[in-house]
Structures are given as C-alpha cells and as structure tokens.
Structure 1
Amino acid sequence: MKSYKILLLLIGVSVFGCSDLEEEPVGLLSPEGFFQTTGDIQTAVDGSLTHAINEMFWGRKLSVALMLRSDMVALASNETRRVEMDEFTTLASNGMISEFWPKTYQGIAAANQAIAGAEDVGVADEIKNPVTAQAYFARAFYYFHLVRLFGDVPYIDAPITDVDAATSMSRTPASEVYANIISDLEFAKAWLPNTVTSRAIPSKAAASSYLALVYLTMEEWQLAYDESTEVINNAGTYNLALESNFQNLFDASVIDASLEPIFALDYNNFEADDNAYDQIAPMTGIRGDVRNSGGGWSIAVPSLEVYTTWDAGDYRRAVSLDDTAKFDDDNDPETPDVEYPYTQFDVSAHEFAKNVPYIAKYTRFPEPFARANARATSHNYSMIRYAEVLLIAAESAVELGNNASALNYVNQVRARARMGGETMTGASVAVTVAPSTVPADLTGTVTVADVLEERRLELAFEGKRWYDIVRRQLGGVAFGTSGLEGAKSNFSSTDYLLPLPEDELERNPNLLPQNPGY
C-alpha cells in the first residue's frame, strides 16, 4: 500500500502547551469521543495555537522568511533556501516554504478539530462558544498568513480523515478565503471576552484588530477604519494602551505586564521535542558577541542604510538596532571583553560577521533561554499591538479623506517614540534616553506614504514590512536602485506571491496551476 505524508490529514491533535496555557506535552488525542467538556475544547485550541510557536512557523522559518523578503533585512549566509528568499530566486522546493506551509495547516487542522468537537459538548452556547471562538480566531490567523503569502490556497474548515479526499483538494480563490477569514473573526469577536489573563489568549480586541488589518489588506477602507477605531474607542474596556517605554515591548522580563500587545505568541523557555521553541534571537544576533551564551549566528542582518537613514534622535532606532557590541578577542576569560563599534564587528573573525548594526529587539532581553545563543527564549512576540491599530486607523483615514483623524493617530505613535526610556547598548550597558523632539508631530496633509513609513519604523523587524510591500505593490521602489538594500534585479511582480510547495503539488496535482512565475 502506498504511504502518504499528507499535511492536511490530522486524525489526532498533537498538544504541546504554549505560554501560560500548558508547559508539558500531553500526547495525542483521539478526537472520536474525546470532546466531553469545554476543557476538552480548550485543550484542542491550545494545541492549535502551539503550532504557531514552533520553529517551523514563528520560531524561525516563517518569521525569518518575512524579514528576508522585506527591504530592511539582508542575508549573511550562503544557505540556499535563505538566499532564495533574500534574492527573489525562490523555487517551489524551497526548504523554508516546505516547513512553514505544513505547520500552518497543522494549526488549522487542530482548530478544525476544536470547532467540530465543540458540537459534541452538551452545554449551552453561552458556556462553550467563548472557548470555541478561540479556535475560530486561530483558524483565521493561520489562513490570513497563507492567503497573503500564496494567494489561492486549499481552504479546509472541517477535520479530514480520508487520504483520497486529502489528495484531491483544489485551491480556493483568495476572495473566498478572505470571506471565510472575516466570518471566523466575526464569530470570534461576538463571543470572545473583552479581557484575558494572557495576551497569548485571543480576546475580542484581538478579533476586532485582525478584522481591521484584514479589511486594510483588502482595501476596504471604511471597514478598516470602523474596526480599528472601535478598538481605539474601547481601549479602556479592552485594557489596552501604548506602552510608555518602547523598549519594554521587547523585554521578556516585563512584557507580560504591558497593555500594548493585543495578541502575542508567548514563549516560555521551553524546548519541546517537536521544535516548539524560539530561534529568532540567534538568527538576528551578532556573530561573536559575548551575550546570550555565544552571541548570535549573523543570519538576518539589516543593511547599513536602514541605520543611516533612520533619524538618530528617534528612540526606536536605539531600541531596534545594536551599533556596539563586546567581543572576547583572545578567548581568555581572565581578560576583559572588548567593546567595538559596528564598523569593527568583523573582529569575531567569522566570514558572516558584518560591519553593520544588528537587530536588537530580540537579543537584549530574552530572559531565561534553554540553550546557548538564546535559543528557546522567554519572549512574547506581538502579532498585533495597539500601535499598529492606531496606524491602521491612520492609513484608512487617509484613504477616506479624514486628515484630522490620520494626524491624530499617527502622532500618538510618534509621541510615544519621543518619550525615550531606559534601554541597553549592544555592549550590555544600561542607558537612559531622555525625551526628545524626534520624531516631530506630522502637520499638514498626511499621505499614505507617511503612514507606511511610520509602520516601517514602528514595526521594524516584526514581520510586517513584507506584507505592506505586497498589499501596496511597493516592490518596484523598495527593491530598486534607491531601495534600502540597493537594487534586487531578480524581483518582479510575480514575487508578491510565493510558490506552492513542490512536494504538495506532486502529491496533489489538483493544486495546479502553480503561481505565475514559478
């Protein structure tokens, strides 16, 4: 009998705890007869969300792919799959795609199990729907990534246990996928609570915020404005606010108390057997740096222009980038480590060390981590936070001709950036950055370009920039001669979508045709 490895087939739900939900694997669940209580639904939901913190999804593969495809992060590596992402020579056999595609569908499959299983739980809707709504949110979260990355994709909204059915599915038009995402988020918004004990648990604000972002992506400006301003106008009810110190958003020791994250992937210094852990700190860290038990791997590294074109008075630059570091030049623990500016980072004598400032958001305050180089950190990664909702409202307001509102929302974000705060240099020296006049409030007429630039800086290295480039079709400029990384000659409009994985097409020809250009 022919053996199939089918990403769409999930007979059991693999549950490994994430964040505050669980910390130990509890095995494989047989869905038949399992769902008896709302606690059983919650277990399946937790399993779905745990797929997102896997190394194959946000732990490294998807998060780094999004960085490399943006115009803010270059590559210091010769690994083929990363080179393809960075240089827009991506093949359908790319090893990053072949890992985050199935992991995304595993998250969807687990959400589908929770939703289907909830039908067997004999309690009132008022009791079980707030739990089931988390699964609807998770399914929308995963599909929103897929549809933006690949366009038309197979849309599955129920458990699949039949191999023949799994290998005969076709792709669903992107417009239908978006409609289903909206439907899921509307259900989630109707039933999720206003506040949650952890931002790793979906809330009403999370559903509404994602609806705003979905509508922004679809260029439904009024709907994007309505949803984002609903969140803003109910910030008190939802317990949301801008964090006073920008650095705190990337400090694992204090982020749990912040009111800014709306939905986050929460790591917990736990390395599961299935790679459910975080590697972004080593991927972005400085090669040879003495921090984090070995520094980083110097893989995803900004171009120098990202640093030099960023106003030095903007506190966000100091938080986002390391322009100094310490190295152990002589490998002698008895002698002091030596501090160097970024122009001399190559003192680590490694071929991939670059003399440019490195990404600092994930290397300064990872808190406890399970392995050297800050692998398996304690970070919370904000998938959407209050500052982005303000910028969604600003961008949609510009499109609607509501300049006063656009000014208000952009300038709230800029005002926080001017507040300064306590941060740390790459040499692990605590510094206090005083309030400044940079960035100044915008005046006059706000343009779409103004808001996109604010998003680029505010959300730098958070997996947002590539999606902005795609939805606004900015590639011609971003990857042209005036781009931050210089000209990328291989880029074309077909690169706005990734190719479907080659092995999936081989297993299921019904997924053809491949995306144009591949």
Structure 2
Amino acid sequence: MKAKHIFLVLFGAGILTSCNDNFLALTPQTDRNTVNFYQTAADFNNAVVGSYAALKLSGVYGTSLYWMGEVSTDNADYGVTTRQAVNVDNFQFVDRTYTSLNDIIYAAWRDHYIGISRTNAILTRIEGANIAANLKTQYKGEAQFIRALLYFDLVRLFGDVPLVTTEITSPDGASSLNRMSAEDIYKLIISDLQSAEQALPVSYGTADVGRVPQGAAKALLGKVYLTRKDWAAAAGKLKEVISSAKYQLLPKYADVFSFATPTNAEILFNVQYKSGNTGQGSNFGPVQASEGSRITGGSMRYPTADMDAAYETGDLRKSFSMRSSYIDATGQTINQRYVSKYVQFGSLAGDSDIDFPVLRYADVLLMYAEALNEVGFNPEAVMYLNQVRKRAGLADTKATDQASFRLAIEQERRVEFAFENQRWFDLVRTGRYVAVMAAKKLPVKDFNMLYLIPQREIDLNKNLKQNPGY
C-alpha cells in the first residue's frame, strides 16, 4: 500500500493546465516558463506525472465517465428525486434527453483534451531532450498510453473529434480545427499503443508503483481491436497478456478493490488516489453511499432495481458491489440501494484511498473469450468465461452456441464490472444499447450511441458540427 504513495507525492504536482474559454484548453500553463521547463529528466518525470493526474479530473474518472457510462444505462440511477435548476444536467442522464449545454458532457470533452495537451507537450519536446535513453523511451511510452486512453474515450463517446498530436502554444491554435474521422483517431490510438507496448517496462520498482506497465498497453490495444471488431487481432493481443503469466484473478473479488492492496496481481492499470492530501483522495464511496463521513445510504447515484435483479443467486460479487438497504442514524433499516464497491473513508470527510480500476485481468479474460467466440464458438472461450464465474461462486455457463455465448458474455461483464463505467461502452460496442434499453422501457434513440458535442466548443470553433439527432 505504501509504495504507491511515493509516486502519488508527485501525482498532483505535474504540469497542471488551467481551464479557460480557449477551445479545448490545449495550451499548458505553468508558473515556470515552458521554454526552460522541459530540460531535465526530473522535468519530464513531473510532466508525465501531470499527465497521470489528468485522469483524476472531473471530466474523466472523477465524475463524467460514471454518468456517461453507468447512469445512462440500466445499471444506475440518480439518487435525487427533486428536480431543480441545479441538477438539470444530472436528470438528463436519467431521461436520456441531453442538451448541448450539459456541463457533465462538456467536462468530459474539456478534461480529456486537457490530458491530451499534457501528453502532446511531452511527446513534442522529449525527442530533443538530453536525458538518458531508457528514461526517454519510458516517458514516451507512458505519454503515448495515456494519450491513447484519452482518445479512445473521446472517439467512443463523440465519434469524429479533432485530432491533435503536437503541442499547441498559440492561444488561438485550436480555434479552427476540424473533426477528424473516427478511422483516423483509431489509427493514432493503435499506433500509440503499439509504440507504448514496446517502450514500457514489464514492471516497476516500488518507488514507481502506479505507472503503466507493458501489460496494460497490450490489454488496452486488445480492447481497441475488439471495439473495431478485429477479432483475430484482439484475441492475439489479449492472449499475449494471458501467456505472460504476469497477472491472475485474485481468489476473492473484494480484494481486487481493497485500499490496503491497491496494486495487485489482477490490476493492470488503475487511477490512484491517496486520502489526506488535498486533491488526491477519491470521493467515489462518499458520493455513492454516504452522507458526511459514514455510510447512511444518502447516495447521489444508486443501483437500479434491474441491476439488483441482474445478479444470479449466490453471486459473491453482489454483496460487495451493492447493498439493498442501510441502517440510518436512528438505527432504523432503510430499504434503499447503494453502491458499496468503493466504500472506505479516509482521513478527511468525503475523501478516501480507493483507486479506480481502468484495466484488470478479469476484463482481459472476458474480452479474450468474446474475441474467440466471434471467430467461432469453441471450448476455450467457455473456459475463460468460467474462470470468472468460478471466482464469483457460480456454476459454469449454460451457453452452447455462439449466439447464447454472446449474451452470456454481456451478462457476465455487467455484473463483473458493475459501476466501473463499462456498461454503456459495452452495449454500444456490441450494437445492443438501443435494444437492451428499449426492452426495459428506458427511452433512447439510435443517435444516443454517441453523445453530443458541447455547445461551448461549437461556439468557439465554427468548424465543429453537431452529431446527428441532437
């Protein structure tokens, strides 16, 4: 546990980009002159750490991806019943009727590009830097992984988006960018990840725990191939992760998320938090399951009844991931569902050590099984699905053909990755979002397979056009 905190001392101290009305906020702004900042290995290390810190912004894993990936689906709902002007943006995810002024969607666009700007500054400047070759290679690999991850989110959320690969230093340098095709965005993502997997080390020493390893680049590349429906490439890349024997399922599901062991054999990459340091702790538990500093069920986002019913009888994941009731301050039992997966209170109110999982080994196994099944239903795919089910205390799958196995994978991913921001992405990737939601009488349209472009960005850049349907 302590090892990650060595890395986290610098996690919020990298190059922090201020937000203004500039399109995409792509120009890093620091107290130091950027001309003389990117000189030493320490400078570049701080810049890389600043890129990791971007993943904690509200528009990335801080807030937006939960609303866009979970509340927009059948998994989660808004835990507030009174509609007011202050929460109109939140209720749009319940109603699935988004407006171009939605601040949650705007934050996702803005903060993903803030992270990209940080990685671009590193990649633009590091080639000419006089630092050790091994560090140069590693820092490039880390920046490329983070940039690929951020663009992967953007292209799935918004479709065609502006493609920026170099540092922008002019205040107006991004005011006339065009949206590039999703195909072009994916070319960069794949190129970045292919370079990253060659550049990144297999593992790190204790002082650098939390940095992205080679296995995470391979796993993310496998997910990209899966999203692109390149089944053979996905299976091949995911098999490399499995064959490395570097990762494994932990015996107990709950241990994967323990704040006492934030890096473990199942975690390939997570966004790390440390309570007690301003801006470095996570608020996932308090936001989803508490009021003040103790569990009371006063949740802002809670599991739906459909999510509650999605777990099979005896699934050991359910009692850890969610609860159906809580005991209030007076000792009474209140029948209200809440997310318990991230509950752990740190030294400050609304603050905890819980990290957010981005890539873990169970995901690799289920993606590999899915890719194999798309090539052709076979016993090997069944075996990998059953590994995940066995850990959950469940019997082997009853799927006996390709079609039923697809549904089995969809179901398994729903409960295995509940509240990990994957549900919307999974249903959109498989083309099932509209059908699944319609069957549950949840209002969505075909165009909801993409989110809308924030109006603020369209106002700042007339080359941007809104996604169809909005």
Normalising by structure 2, report the TM-score: 0.89
Q: Is the 8 A contact 1:59 1:277 kept in 2?
A: no
C-alpha distance in 2, partners of 1:304/1:4? 41
Q: Distance in 2 between matches of 1:123 and 1:73?
A: 48
Question: Bigger shift: 202-211 or 312-321?
Answer: 312-321
Give the 5 Å matches for 1:54-93.
Answer: 54-77=57-80, 78=83, 79-93=87-101
Match of 1:470 in 2: 428
The reply on whether 1:278 has 2:294 as its aligned counterpart is: no
In 2, the alpha carbon distance for the partners of 1:301 and 1:324 equals 11
The yes-or-no answer on 1:208 pairing with 2:218 is: yes
What are the equivalent positions in structure 2 for 1:2-151 lying under 5 Å apart? 5-12=21-28, 28-77=31-80, 78=83, 79-123=87-131, 125-151=133-159
User: Which of the numbers 373, 379, 383 marks the counterpart of 1:404?
Assistant: 379
Q: Distance in 2 between matches of 1:444 and 1:293?
A: 46
Kept in 2: contact 1:12–1:29 (CA 8 A) = no
- 2:282–2:355 contact (8 Å) kept in structure 1: no
> In structure 2, which of residues 340, 344, 353 is the aligned counterpart of residue 360 of structure 1?
340
Whose helix fraction is larger, Structure 1's or Structure 2's? 2
Report the AA paired with residue 63 of structure 1: Y
> Residue deviations 1:386-409, cap 9 Å, x none?
000001100000001151221121
> Deviation of residue 86 (structure 1)?
2.1
Residue aligning to 1:224: 234
Structure 1: distance between partners of 2:384 and 2:293:
37
- Which residues in structure 2 correspond to 1:162-201 (within 5 Å)? 162-196=170-204, 197=206, 200-201=210-211
Q: Deviations over 1:6-49 (max 9, x none)?
A: 143444356xxxxxxxxxxxxx4432122222322221111011
Question: Cα–Cα, structure 1 residues 169 and 30, in superposed 2: closer, same or farther, change >3 Å?
Answer: same
Q: Which AA in structure 1 matches 2:243? A: N
Instruction: Give the corresponding residue for 2:442.
Output: 488
State the partner residue of 2:459. Answer: 506
Q: Output one character per residue of 1:261-291: Cα deviation in whole Å (capped at 9) or x when no partner.
A: 101001101454xx5552222232156xxx8
- The 1:199/1:91 distance shift into structure 2, 3 A limit, reads farther
Deviates more, 1:318-327 or 1:109-118: 318-327
Task: Report the alpha carbon displacement of residue 506 of structure 1 after superposing the two structures with TM.
Answer: 0.3
Q: C-alpha distance in 2, partners of 1:296/1:453?
A: 26
Q: CA separation in 1, counterparts of 2:395 and 2:45?
A: 44
- Partner AA of 2:103 in structure 1: G
Counterpart contact for 1:415–1:441, Cα < 8 Å: no
Q: Secondary structure at 2:89's aligned position in 1?
A: helix
CA RMSD of aligned residues (A): 2.1
Correspondence for 2:329: 328
Q: Please give the TM-score of this superposition, normalised by the length of structure 1.
A: 0.81
Equivalent in the alignment of 2:275: 269
Please state how far the C-alpha of 1:442 moved relative to its aligned partner.
4.5
1:301: which partner in 2?
302
Distance 1:234 1:13 in 2: 41
Describe the shift of the 1:473–1:189 C-alpha distance in structure 2 as closer, same or farther (beyond 3 A).
same
Structure 1, 90-99 or 192-201: larger mean CA deviation: 192-201
Distance 1:110 1:51, change over 3 A: same
**Aligned-pair identity (%):** 29
Indicate if the aligned counterparts of 2:123 and 2:140 stay in contact, CA closer than 8 A: yes
Return the letter of the residue paired with 2:442: K
Deviation at 1:312, TM superposition (A): 2.7
Q: CA deviation at 1:441?
A: 4.5
Aligned partners of 1:193, 1:327: CA distance in 2, in Å?
A: 48
Q: Which structure has the bigger radius of gyration?
A: 1
Quote how far apart the aligned CAs of 1:378 are: 0.4
SS of the residue corresponding to residue 263 of structure 1 reads strand
Whole-angstrom distance in 2 between the partners of 1:4 and 1:476: 36
Any idea what SS the aligned residue of 2:24 has?
coil
Aligned mates of 1:509, 1:221 — CA distance in 2? 38
Relative to 1, partners in 2 of residues 1:505 and 1:312: Cα closer, same or farther, differing over 3 Å? same
Distance, in Å, in 2 between the alignment partners of 1:10 and 1:164 is 10
CA distance in 2, matches of 1:104, 1:369: 29
1:412 Cα shift?
1.1
Structure 2 Cα separation of the partners of residues 312 and 135 of structure 1: 43
CA contact (8 A) 1:286 1:295 kept: yes
Q: How far did residue 377 of structure 1 move?
A: 1.4
Q: Is the 8 A contact 1:270 1:370 kept in 2?
A: yes
Match for 2:242: what amino acid? I
**Is contact 1:252-1:378 (8 Å) kept?**
yes
- Could you tell me how far apart the structure 2 residues matched to 1:13 and 1:407 are? 51
Query: What is the CA deviation profile of residues 444-502 of structure 1, one whole-angstrom value per residue up to 9, with x for unaligned ones?
Result: 3352111111111111110001101111121233212x43xxx123x101001111110
Aligned to 2:6: none
Kept after mapping to 2: 8 A contact 1:253/1:367: no
Say if 1:205 and 1:262, in contact at 8 Å, map to a contact too: yes
Q: Specify the alignment match of 1:517 in structure 2.
A: 469
1:260 to 262, 266, 285: 266
Structure 2: gaps spanning 5 or more residues: 1-18
CA distance in 2, matches of 1:227, 1:58: 25
Q: Which 4+ runs in 1 deviate beyond 4 A?
A: none
**CA distance change for structure 1 residues 11 and 412 in 2, over 3 Å: closer, same or farther?**
same
What SS does structure 2 have at the residue aligned with 1:467?
helix
What is residue 13 of structure 2 aligned with on the other side?
A: none
**What SS does the corresponding residue of 1:165 show, helix, strand or coil?**
coil
Q: What SS does structure 1 have at the residue aligned with 2:179?
A: coil
Q: Would the alpha carbon gap of residues 441 and 473 (structure 1) be closer, same or farther in structure 2, given more than 3 Å must change?
A: closer
* Alignment partners' CA distance in 1, 2:419 and 2:134: 40
In structure 1, what is the Cα distance between the partners aligned to 2:34 and 2:300? 41
Runs of 5+ consecutive residues of structure 1 not aligned to the other structure? 15-27, 330-336, 346-354, 419-437
Contact 2:159 / 2:450 at 8 angstroms: preserved in 1?
yes
Q: How many residues in Structure 1 have an aligned counterpart in Structure 2?
A: 443
| Superposed CA offset, 1:137-177 (max 9, x none) | 11111111111000011111111112332111111111100
Question: Superposed, which structure 2 residues align to 1:229-248 within 5 Å?
Answer: 229-235=239-245, 239-248=246-255
